[in-house]
Amino acid sequence: MKSYTEFLLEKKENDLLELLNEAVFIMAPEMSDIIDELYNSEEGYSKIAKCFYMLDMEDIDTQISYLNLGDDNSTITFLKPEKVDKIRKEKEWTINDVWVNVKGNGIRVGRLTRKVIELYNKSRSVKTTKATNSSISDVKFTDQEIEKFVNAYKSQYDFNNNIMDNFSLVSSEDDIKEAYLEDNYYSGDGTLGGSCMRNDDAQNYLELYHNTSVNLLVLKSANNKIMGRSVIWTLSDGRKFMDRTYTNRDSDVDLFIKYAQENRYIYKAEQDSRAHTYFYEPGDNYNNSSFIQLESKVYEFSIGNNGGEEFPYMDTMKYLYWEEGIIRNYKDKSNYYIKLEDVDGWCDCAECDGEGREECNKCDGDGNNTCEDCRGYGYEECSRCNGYGDNMCKECDGDEEVECEECDGEGYIDGETCGTCGGSSKVTCVTCDGYGTENCSNCDGDGREECGECNNNGTIECETCDGDGEGECSRCGGYSHRDFFVSNWSRRIWLFIKHIHNSILEDHKFNILVDKTENGTKNKN
């Protein structure tokens, strides 16, 4: 099957000659390349890209045509058809001449997308009415779906313009601190601009990274400013994990994901601060996400090192098992840990954060879990049309043509060429108007149906905590043990008490207990 770009090169120039006096929706090859990539993806935004795809070269009443790439990823240029026709007649230019030499009007990608969806629905409605004298349901998209398409377009625009060359992996103390400090940011926008680790006060919190098997993936602008960053962990099994991505521009998140996929990294399905969540792993083109346990070694680290009590806020690798020298995204209750989830570099009771209550580790205290059937969207792809909103036309079986009834498929009537089919024996299918597809009756063309598991809510009540989200802290019994890790001295006291407690349980011999405690304390300090 020929690519869309090849189709354009062969068809557009010739077809346009027949439409010089008509309004026609047409895209430049460079823009078609982007739409082609989005259309052929397996992401949800491919359905919006289809609207662009199906409109291209359509004879349609519109003043927005001759679409081309803007000066940046946020705009698309357009020209009015009558203006282009006038220029071509006067200068005898090709279509490419017009695109190269004539500056079009700019329009925001999001605004154009909504207009294209409107035009697509209008085109479908007109064709269906003419063919069947019946109406057809409009294709509809949520604001969130349109936003994802716009971000995907911007990301693909940047990718096609070699922005991936602006990525770098850094590991030195100076480079890591530079990437975190807001003075070095491209702008104060986005998740990067709102990061809790952006201030100068947080620079000391980053010491943990210097003794840990991590790199930092950094995206810089043309003027060497930080536009995005993400911690790259080397896991205990040798695999790489890209942590939550922070960017000035939402669209750049997709670029980080492209980088992760190209380098076979594990990455988060959702760029949030949850530890126990969905992850994408290499394999099958990253089509499937799942819950996985991550673990990384923390080299030469112990309580009291690196200034002692200050730690960075962790989005995913929250649980530091300092006695083992391991950091994880999950709780192992067989060993004590510190939970690194304080924006001021502090930490309280490992299990309950000093509250005496423990959040459910299944739902992260929410009381509800993301529905695994619909991934939290509240709806699933239509089981009949696989989310595309249309199915193969039953009349023509997708062939786009049917046997001519006038000549019974012979092509001739009484030795004369059939006037209906012109001797070809077939005519355009009126049911689908030659598209080979018809509106899906199961989902009314929406491409989705309500999730039966969560009743369209996107979440289900957590079975572990019965929707409560928490219970009495299993580690401290509700007493909180607040601020055990605020200072080196308090840590030593707690270690001493812990050793005494364990020894009493073993043999109740105080003299042996003291000896063991003193030796253990000396070894740890």
Q: pLDDT digits over 51-104, tens only?
A: 998 887 777 777 777 888 888 899 998 888 778 778 878 887 877 777 777 788
209 in a domain, yes or no?
A: yes
Strand extents, DSSP E, 284-440: 289-291, 295-297, 319-321, 326-328, 338-339, 357-359, 368-370, 379-381, 390-392, 401-403, 412-413, 416-417, 426-428, 437-439
Q: Tell me, yes or no, whether 196 and 114 share the same domain.
A: no
259 in a domain, yes or no?
A: yes
95 in a domain, yes or no?
A: yes
> Which pLDDT score, from 0 to 100, does residue 452 have?
72
DSSP label of 201: G
Report whether 475 contacts 352 (CB < 8 A): yes
Q: Tell me, yes or no, whether 106 and 170 share the same domain.
A: no
Question: Per-residue pLDDT for 23 more than 50?
Answer: yes
139 in a domain, yes or no?
A: yes
> Which pLDDT score, from 0 to 100, does residue 392 have?
79
Q: Tell me, yes or no, whether 278 and 153 share the same domain.
A: no
Q: CA-CA distance, 74 to 107, in Å (whole number)? A: 8
151 in a domain, yes or no?
A: yes
Q: CA-CA distance, 390 to 395, in Å (whole number)? A: 14
Query: Taking the chain, what is the end-to-end CA distance rounded to the nearest angstrom?
Result: 69
The whole-number average pLDDT for the span 445-453 is: 77
Strand extents, DSSP E, 235-275: 240-242, 246-247, 266-268
Instruction: Write down which residue in 136, 158, 180 finishes a domain.
Output: 158
Q: Tell me, yes or no, whether 103 and 204 share the same domain.
A: no
Of 364, 196, 213, residue with least CA distance to 278: 364
Encode burial over 462-488: b for 16+ CB neighbours within 10 A, e otherwise: beebeeebbeebebbeeebbeebbeee
Q: Tell me, yes or no, whether 8 and 148 share the same domain.
A: yes
Share of the chain above pLDDT 90, in %: 27
Q: What are the pLDDT digits (tens) for 116-137?
A: 998 888 888 766 666 666 667 8
Domain that holds residue 242: 164-295
359 in a domain, yes or no?
A: no
User: Comparing 177-181, 238-242, 463-467, which segment has the lowest mean pLDDT?
Assistant: 463-467
Q: CA-CA distance, 8 to 330, in Å (whole number)? A: 51
Q: Tell me, yes or no, whether 128 and 264 share the same domain.
A: no
Q: CA-CA distance, 370 to 457, in Å (whole number)? A: 9
Note the residue count of the chain.
525
User: Looking at the 3D structure of the chain, how many domains does it have?
Assistant: 3
Q: Tell me, yes or no, whether 127 and 186 share the same domain.
A: no
* DSSP secondary structure letters along 465-509: TTT--EEE-TTTTTS--TTTTSSHHHHHHHHHHHHHHHHHHHH--
Q: Tell me, yes or no, whether 144 and 170 share the same domain.
A: no
Q: What are the pLDDT digits (tens) for 328-346?
A: 999 887 677 778 887 877 6
